[in-house]
Amino acid sequence: MQLSQKLFQASAWLRYWLEAVNEHSLHAPFVYQLYREVIRPQGPSLPAVEQLRRELLESGEWLQLQEMGAGSSLTTNNKRPVASIARHSLTPARFSQLLYRLLQFTQAQTVLELGTSLGLNSLYMAAAIPAGTLYTIEGCPQTAALARRHVELQQVTNIQLLTGNIDQQLPQLLAQASPQLDLAYLDANHTYEATLRYFGWLLPHLHPQSVVVVDDIHWSAGMQQAWQELCRHPSVTLSLDLYEAGLLFFRPGMQAQQYVLEY
């Protein structure tokens, strides 16, 4: 990671720390309920998935990565240990748990994930929607193959994992399956252009109760700019900045609001 990006992230974190509020500053009933029931709580932990996380952190396996987006911020070597990918690319367990709680809170049934990685968030989200379907797209064939292996080992049957460039796979999925998405999780190709492009493709498939989760909104100046533009989009009525990720809501009857929340 370049020094300029490290300095940007440090500055973004400081701004977040200074601006973030908790439930004592929340007066909108929906936001207060969401904070108390989804953002503030801890768990649930999925023991089998967390055991998999521990195994990946100690894995001696290597992957030949095919980077599709912004690439690794740690190395330009595309052959990397699985343990290193798990250490630096997986979201923390508490964020996987947040996704689980959010899906249960919104009673989502049709969910899309862009950027499967090793599949741990996929497993958490699939567990939260046992009667629903999780579509997940991974650009790197070897990473997708490993994630598919994890899904099979966990005996999860409600995940449809697609492999290939999201710019090709996502329009095909939306055209063929025509899903109305209850939640979309964007965790791939962390660039300004790709983030706005994906959102534009997803927008016709969202409904007033949908949620879009955007990962790494302060990862770079470009991602932060994309997040700010998404917050101002006419269809967005509520945006929540958790620093690690941002949540976008489209609920009718709400005056457009933006919050920076302690997480």
Residue 153 belongs to a domain with what CATH number? 3.40.50.150
Residue 62 in any domain: the answer is: no
pLDDT digits (tens, 9 = 90+) for 139-164: 999 999 999 999 999 999 999 999 99
- The total number of structural domains in the chain stands at 1
Bridge-partner residues for 162, per DSSP?
A: 137
Q: Decide if pLDDT at 191 tops 50.
A: yes
- pLDDT computed for residue 4 by the predictor: 87
- pLDDT computed for residue 73 by the predictor: 43
Q: What percent of the chain has pLDDT over 70?
A: 95
pLDDT digits (tens, 9 = 90+) for 89-107: 999 999 999 999 999 999 9
Per-residue confidence band for 129, with pLDDT thresholds at 50, 70 and 90: very high
| pLDDT top residue among 1 and 137 | 137
Mean pLDDT for 114-126 is 98
Which of 154, 114, 106 has the alpha carbon at shortest distance from 132? 106
Letter for the amino acid at 202?
A: L
What are the structure tokens assigned to 189, written together? Answer: 């190709």
Residue 69 in any domain: the answer is: no
Which residues make Cβ contacts (< 8 Å) with residue 74, sequence separation at least 6? 1, 84, 88
d(Cα 123, Cα 151) in Å, to the nearest integer? Answer: 7
- Domain residues for the domain of 31 are 3-46+91-260
Residue 171 in any domain: the answer is: yes
- pLDDT computed for residue 68 by the predictor: 62
Residue 72 in any domain: the answer is: no
